[in-house]
Structure 1
Amino acid sequence: MLWIGQLLSDTGSGIGLLAYPLLILALTHSAVLAGVVGTARAITLLCLQLPAGALSDRFDRRLTMIICDIMRAVLLALLGILIVTDLASWPVVLVVCLIEGGAGAIFNPAAAAALSGIVPDRQLEQAAAATEARTYTAALAGPALGGTLFGLGQAVPFLVNAVSYVVSFGTAKRIRGQFRPENAAERKALWREVADGLQVVWQVPILRAVAITAPLMNFAFTGVIFTVTLALRQHGTSTAVLGLVQATIAAGGLLGAIVAPRLQGRMRLGALATTITLAGALLFGAAAPLLPSPLVAAPIALALLLAPAVNAALFAVTLRSAPAEMRGRVINTVVMATTALAALAPLTAGLFVQHVSGAWAVGAFAATAAAAAVLCLILPGLRHAT
């Protein structure tokens, strides 16, 4: 039930990621305002990560998911009505975008922390691998659907997204189990609970190593993918071919999610992390001279093959390392630490592409992956991880 609901809501969120800027462009004809909405959403999500994780540890996690889904469904349905009645304006779209994103920031750690109450401990890696498959499937389907639905009508993608949240609400409601955090009544000030989550991450060697190493890899992967889009478009590549390139890259991650369960138990976590960072450095280096050919997608897709197995293993380790009553905030602390640097990747890619070249940009991100590989080899938390 959790997996099906999140697959639909993740796909709906992917639809919205493309539909929001398209709607802003249609309303204002301003690419700057479209960019402002996207950046504001990203900053909001980043700022909410730590407090959202702490909040998800205060309340019943299943109930939290249900409330977030209801809120998002109602908001998007109202936005669809405003669009149909020609009453939508870009500030209204911005507010809806930020609130929907904020509700998602609270929903995600609650859903992640609830996983340990649904599956046995020995199956956490397999469950997390299924989650990775869901994420890449949504990444493939969401943007493509968003463009198609927007072509049918400006309100259509938002109404479809609202329906996806209604279905997610229905599946969450049917989940059975105990999802109220232990010691929920014994609470401190919110900022102290946030600090407790940070302390756990820093004190556990594997989590500390991940918080140091993973930001570099996420920065490199995000930067390479964004560079490919910019460099190919700058060279005159059609949007249809660009979509095919992005789909090919995402397919590498989806295939990796399918094979991830077969890798679990066969390779140590430290070996997996070192392998993906080294492979990323080598394959990104091989991709650099291929630009501006669409064939650049092949080595990048190969680099993504191991990502789901590593992510699934790290997610299971994070759940096991956190006290039951702190899982939401620990998960979000790790997520924020590992993804914050990636927010700078598009800007870095843009500067390289505009002032140097796409090939040099990919080369710089390959060097970043190589630095992450060195850290995997020298940090005890990853070197000795089982």
Structure 2
Amino acid sequence: MTLVDGAGPRSGAPDRPLRRNREFLLLWSGAGMSFLATRVTSVAYPLIVLWHTGSPLAMSLVSTAALLPLLLVQLPAGALVDRWDRRRLMLVCEAGRIAAVGSVAAALAVGRVAVPHLAAVAFTESALAVFYRLAERGAVRNLVHPAHLPTALAQNEARGRAAGLLGQPGGVLLYSAARWLPFGFAAFGYLASFLGLLLIRKDFQQERSGLAKGPRLAGEVAEGMRWLWRQRFLRAALAYVAGTNILFQMLALALILRIKEAGLPSATLAIVVGVGGIGGLCGALAGSRVERQMRRRTLLIGGAVAWALLIGAMGFTARPLLLGVLYAGTGFVGAVFNVSAAVYQVRTTPDALQGRVAATAGLIGSGTNALGSSAGGLLLAAWGAQPTVRAIAVAMAVLALFAVLAPDLKGELPDDLTDNG
């Protein structure tokens, strides 16, 4: 496959700057509200469960329910996203999430907290988010000129990091003000995204035969998996990312318990994730530049070493500001990783396979997140927060060694095929 095969339908110089692309701006801003809503609820779920039940295992149950769609839904979602109209699918996702989080807001407003209800809504919201994210990723390259693709994807990463920067501490503060507010805000965010999608006039996919037709779902899934399996660098890198994502799910729960064990109020968590989010945003803004200047294998190895050192330092402090600064360092590295991976995957994958390849990559890279959440709950219950954080740092160092030794990580495409211009 050549770069042209995966670069989109247009060629030549762009006729307008990206900042004047109405369709992309509508999609970008609407998805930003959607991601902000998701970030707000993601931190609200474990907070509600932990502070109402006092059980790390109950907290991990709800967190695991929110992560299970990454394992169970991704592959069929990828095939269906490639088969169905992406814009209509995204509208359905937003309508479903409005109803789901609205039910939690209503229940909390009348003082009802039920772990099974929270787990069911967390699963539903996350499953719809999988469909939405896959459709949005495939839509971007059909709304922007190929020359603008790296910048657009870097802006998408910055948008996600900004959503985390605002959403996670915002979710904590909204929760502190009223238990139902995080979910009421999320319903508003999904509604704003829904309205933005209605205003976009361009198609979200290239014209192709068989759209929304054909019963061969398993065969379509297998086609995407076969294509990805033939990409040696991608499959090795995704195995590495899967390991790091498990560890970061454990770290996220450990930070919450670390704050609670220190006897600090729940609002303190807003400081940690707020400062940490600044690092992720800076990494996203620098991502396209770093992606052009460094080989991806170098990023993987150096990033894992940096993560091990930063997480190890977290195991020796409970000071909120210092934890936030260390968390910011991990976020910076992760954001650069995400930009580099997005550019590589979107540019090299044909449009008709975007959903399936992204879903397969998501399954390998993030589908094991539920394992991290479950293991994190068990370790936290047995060891407490500080020893768990230190164990995570040791495991991250082992992954850095894997990146050094893995032969397939030396097989990325030459720089001239992945240059972002």
TM-score range (shorter-chain normalised) is 0.7 to 0.9
Equivalent residue, structure 1, for 2:29: 4
Equivalent residue, structure 2, for 1:306: 333
CA distance in 2, matches of 1:221, 1:90: 23
Cα distance change of structure 1 residues 291 and 330 upon mapping to structure 2, 3 Å threshold: same
**1:46 corresponds to 2:52:** no
Partners of 2:169 and 2:269 within 8 A in 1: no
2:144 to 116, 119, 124: 119
Equivalent residue, structure 2, for 1:229: 256
What letter is aligned with 1:48? V
Equivalent residue, structure 2, for 1:252: 279
SS at match of 2:209: coil
CA distance in 2, matches of 1:23, 1:127: 36
**1:101 corresponds to 2:129:** no
1:277 shift after superposition = 1.5
1:314 shift after superposition = 0.7
Cα distance change of structure 1 residues 99 and 204 upon mapping to structure 2, 3 Å threshold: same
CA distance in 2, matches of 1:93, 1:359: 28
Cα distance change of structure 1 residues 37 and 263 upon mapping to structure 2, 3 Å threshold: closer
SS at match of 2:294: coil
Matches within 5 A, 1:253-268: 253-268=280-295
**1:321 corresponds to 2:348:** yes
Deviates more, 1:203-212 or 1:255-264: 255-264
The aligned length equals 384
Partners of 2:65 and 2:122 within 8 A in 1: no
Partners of 2:90 and 2:135 within 8 A in 1: yes
Sequence identity, in percent?
A: 28
CA distance in 1, matches of 2:391, 2:53: 34
Partners of 1:227 and 1:346 within 8 A in 2: no
Equivalent residue, structure 2, for 1:132: 157
Cα distance change of structure 1 residues 362 and 70 upon mapping to structure 2, 3 Å threshold: closer
CA distance in 2, matches of 1:170, 1:346: 34
Matches within 5 A, 1:163-182: 163-180=188-205, 182=208
Matches within 5 A, 1:29-108: 36-77=61-102, 80=105, 94-108=119-133
Measured on the aligned residues, the alpha-carbon RMSD in Å equals 3.1
2:362 to 327, 330, 335: 335
- Deviations, residues 322-354 of structure 1 (Å, cap 9, x unaligned): 221111111111112112333333444455455
Deviates more, 1:52-61 or 1:126-135: 126-135
Equivalent residue, structure 1, for 2:170: 145
Equivalent residue, structure 2, for 1:280: 307
**1:184 corresponds to 2:210:** yes
- Deviations, residues 23-55 of structure 1 (Å, cap 9, x unaligned): 6789x8685766544433322443111111111
Cα distance change of structure 1 residues 151 and 284 upon mapping to structure 2, 3 Å threshold: closer
- Any gaps of 5 or more consecutive residues in structure 1? none
- Deviations, residues 239-283 of structure 1 (Å, cap 9, x unaligned): 333331222222221221122233231112222222211222233
Deviates more, 1:208-217 or 1:152-161: 152-161
Equivalent residue, structure 2, for 1:291: 317
CA distance in 1, matches of 2:313, 2:114: 46
Equivalent residue, structure 1, for 2:3: none
Partners of 1:211 and 1:334 within 8 A in 2: yes
What letter is aligned with 2:97? R
What letter is aligned with 1:104? A
Equivalent residue, structure 1, for 2:38: 13
CA distance in 2, matches of 1:368, 1:137: 28
- Deviations, residues 278-305 of structure 1 (Å, cap 9, x unaligned): 22223333443x2344424433422332
SS at match of 2:326: helix
CA distance in 1, matches of 2:383, 2:116: 36
1:137 shift after superposition = 1.7
Equivalent residue, structure 2, for 1:216: 243
Superposition TM-score, scaled by structure 1 size: 0.86
Deviates more, 1:155-164 or 1:328-337: 155-164
1:4 shift after superposition = 0.7
What letter is aligned with 1:69? E
1:198 shift after superposition = 1.8
CA distance in 1, matches of 2:252, 2:105: 31
Equivalent residue, structure 1, for 2:418: none
Matches within 5 A, 1:340-379: 340-356=367-383, 358-379=385-406
CA distance in 2, matches of 1:227, 1:90: 20
Equivalent residue, structure 1, for 2:16: none
Partners of 1:59 and 1:180 within 8 A in 2: no
Partners of 1:214 and 1:372 within 8 A in 2: no
What letter is aligned with 1:130? Q
What letter is aligned with 1:101? S
Partners of 2:165 and 2:276 within 8 A in 1: no
Cα distance change of structure 1 residues 100 and 355 upon mapping to structure 2, 3 Å threshold: closer
- Deviations, residues 220-247 of structure 1 (Å, cap 9, x unaligned): 3333343333234323334333331222
Partners of 2:77 and 2:131 within 8 A in 1: yes
**1:160 corresponds to 2:188:** no
Cα distance change of structure 1 residues 164 and 350 upon mapping to structure 2, 3 Å threshold: closer
Deviates more, 1:213-222 or 1:77-86: 77-86
Partners of 1:49 and 1:332 within 8 A in 2: yes
What letter is aligned with 1:326? L
